[in-house]
Amino acid sequence: MSVDPSRLAAWLRCPVCHADLEPVERLTLGCVNGHRHDVNKRGYVVLLGGGTKHLGDTAEMLDARDLVLESGAYSPIADAVAASATGTRVLDAGAGTGHYLRAALSALPDARGLAMDLSPQAVARAARSSERMDGLVADTWRPLPVRSEAADTVLDVFAPRNLPEFHRVLRPEGTLVVVVPRADHLGSLRAAGTMLDIPSDKADGVIAATEPLYALLAREPVAYDLALTPALRDALAGMGPSARHAATGAAAIPSDVDATRVSVDVLRFARR
């Protein structure tokens, strides 16, 4: 793939001093204060600043996520996300392999995307999946190395939320799209005890937390029954944070679990 440092830099600010980044050499970005950051030949840049205490997804988790998403199991969610995105610049915070960002870009033919994730492996996969997508390795919990008012839409799909920073990087009248699971999401798999529980009021909590900075535009439930093959069942258990916490992993799910419920809320907010 070809790397365009100018296009990538147009999204970014220095994680050290917060000055805008610009290309200073073919594969190097820099700021006026002399900080330099190398662009990976695979199409992304690592801007972790002082590092991070959090862990990105492993290759095994990403493989499981690819299996689930490319099977079409979550296509109704991707369709709802794509329908909620607006504008010509879309930032996906916690992009994983870039599946939802690709869906949004397909719905916005003039748009460019920035796939941001803590996992370099995830960002590498996302960046090579679309010529319209650049990659950024960064920690959502820290001040984002993204320029203020750089995005028309911020996507946050099953990912951590840094609401003040999302507000800063959104343009005026920008859109924040958040997807959170409902309490019955993947219920038959959770009953096996290998996946983390979901609070019954998760969406309500997100809406309350956003109130000072965002106005709720829409709350769309997406729910349907999903038939499971053994491979899909194990991948659903192995693709998310539960994979880090389960002592015995997906093998503990009874083999006769052949269906589950997909149930999420797609929340769309306007920047105040």
- pLDDT 10s digits, 119-143: 999 999 999 999 999 999 999 999 9
Helical segments of the chain, H only? 5-9, 59-70, 75-84, 99-107, 120-129, 163-169, 187-190, 202-210, 230-238, 242-245
pLDDT digits (tens, 9 = 90+) for 225-267: 999 999 999 999 899 766 554 444 444 566 778 999 999 999 9
Query: Any idea what the Cα angle at residue 77 is, between residues 72 and 82, rounded to 5°?
Result: 105
Architecture of the 44-271 domain: 3-Layer(aba) Sandwich (3.40)
pLDDT digits (tens, 9 = 90+) for 181-201: 999 999 999 887 767 788 888
pLDDT digits (tens, 9 = 90+) for 86-131: 999 999 999 999 999 999 999 999 999 999 999 999 999 999 999 9
Write down the domain spans for the chain: 44-271
pLDDT computed for residue 243 by the predictor: 58
**Region 35-44 average pLDDT:** 93
Query: Any idea what the Cα angle at residue 114 is, between residues 1 and 214, rounded to 5°?
Result: 170
